[in-house]
Amino acid sequence: MLKLTVSNAPDSWDASFSSIAEAIAKIPANNTEPVTILIKPGIYHEKLELTQPYVTLKGETAENTILTYDDCASLPMPDGTKRGTFRSYTLLVKSHDITLSSLTIRNAAYPRSRAGQAIALYADGDRLIIKDCRLEGYQDTLFTGPLPPAPLSPGGFTGPGEFDERIVGRQFYKNCYICGDIDFIFGSATAYFENCEIASIYSEPLPCDKNGNPPVYGYVTAASTYENCPYGYVFYNCRFTGTCPDQSVYLGRPWRNFAKTVLLNCHLGGHIKQEGFHDWNKKEAQNTIFYAEYQSTGKGAAPNMRAPYVQSLDDSKAASYTKNAVLSGPDNWLPD
């Protein structure tokens, strides 16, 4: 039987558990002390929720410690109601001061045309650290909560955060591999991605639009940054790779009209479209979104061909997007 061990646990705790869920359940809801759950190599087919603070989930390596499930938006709930996007997660993190390390978190629902949205990691909280992890899925792989203030249609936010107070947290992703096809990094958090591989994987192209433009194979980000937030997504020294055809993937589009996404010193593969970003056919958003790049390299770097609302940062403006500037906040949080 696959076993878990819990480090620095009180003497009254059992030393090992037969499932990750069992170990998480042992942690008090009002936990105040750091707790680390060490997960031994294996494939864990579990749908998990972590709502206690000050917890670390740590595997041996991401390649051999795999958390996987296959819920998806099109799969109905047990009572027959629509599951929707936000109940499709493999791992829900809804707390603060959480670290995920050396794990694969996968949503195995496929194909997208049948499954729809399928979240691997639902991350909603402040001071979250995800390092040396693989986040794998297709559409909507990584949700960086909170939700936007309101859904565009009734029932659109049905799920764990629907009625919660919206708190914009800070999230730090380091040395991670994140893959998907459509909007596979989306949400409202302030999130800093460092030394990550962002992989657009071939799944199914979207149909040509009414103007006969070539098919699109993906959108990397769909930020919903709050209007009063200075930072949304920042990618630093990341590699945007892909198995999609050249000129077939956008770096992002605005889920909400104040979306912010900035790339610093990133290498872009040839699959990235020369326009860089898309306005989601919301012309009004061009006046409120903030999409910018600084010293992009690679075949997909085309600063002179970007959409007119994409900015090219100079040295002084790029200096305001350091990790400390983006994440420190009033408590001077230093995630490293």
Distance CA 140, CA 179 (A): 10
Domain 42-327: which topology? Pectate Lyase C-like (2.160.20)
Q: Is the pLDDT of residue 277 over 60?
A: yes
Q: Is the pLDDT of residue 215 over 60?
A: yes
The CB density around residue 201, as the number of other CB atoms within 10 Å, is: 18
Distance CA 213, CA 275 (A): 13
User: Which contiguous run of DSSP H or E holds residue 326?
Assistant: helix 323-327
Distance separating the N- and C-terminal Cα atoms of the chain? 35
State the amino acid at position 270 in one-letter form. G
Q: Is the pLDDT of residue 282 over 60?
A: yes
pLDDT tier for residue 10 given thresholds of 50, 70 and 90? low
**If DSSP codes are grouped into helix, strand and coil, which group holds residue 115?**
helix
Distance CA 55, CA 166 (A): 22
Q: What is the mean pLDDT of residues 2-23?
A: 70
Pair 185, 130: CB distance under 8 Å: no
- Identify which of 116, 94, 222, 96 has the alpha carbon closest to the alpha carbon of residue 161: 94
Token output for 270: 């040839």
Question: What is the per-residue pLDDT for 11?
Answer: 62
Token output for 227: 């209007």
Distance CA 236, CA 238 (A): 5
Q: Is the pLDDT of residue 326 over 80?
A: yes
Q: What is the mean pLDDT of residues 272-300?
A: 97
Q: Is the pLDDT of residue 7 over 90?
A: no
Distance CA 49, CA 51 (A): 6
Q: What is the mean pLDDT of residues 311-322?
A: 97
Q: Is the pLDDT of residue 12 over 80?
A: no
DSSP string, 266-323: -EE-TTB-TT-B--TT-GGGGGT-EEEEES-BSTT--GGGS-TTEEE--HHHHGGG-H
Q: Is the pLDDT of residue 5 over 80?
A: no
pLDDT in tens, 25-68: 999 999 999 999 999 999 999 999 999 999 999 999 999 999 99
Q: Is the pLDDT of residue 1 over 70?
A: no
Q: What is the pTM of this model?
A: 0.96
Answer left, alpha or beta for residue 148, where phi above 0 means left and psi between -120 and 50 means alpha: beta
Lowest mean pLDDT among 53-67, 212-226, 269-283: 212-226
Q: What is the mean pLDDT of residues 169-196?
A: 98
User: Which contiguous run of DSSP H or E holds residue 250?
Assistant: strand 249-252
Token output for 147: 């939700």
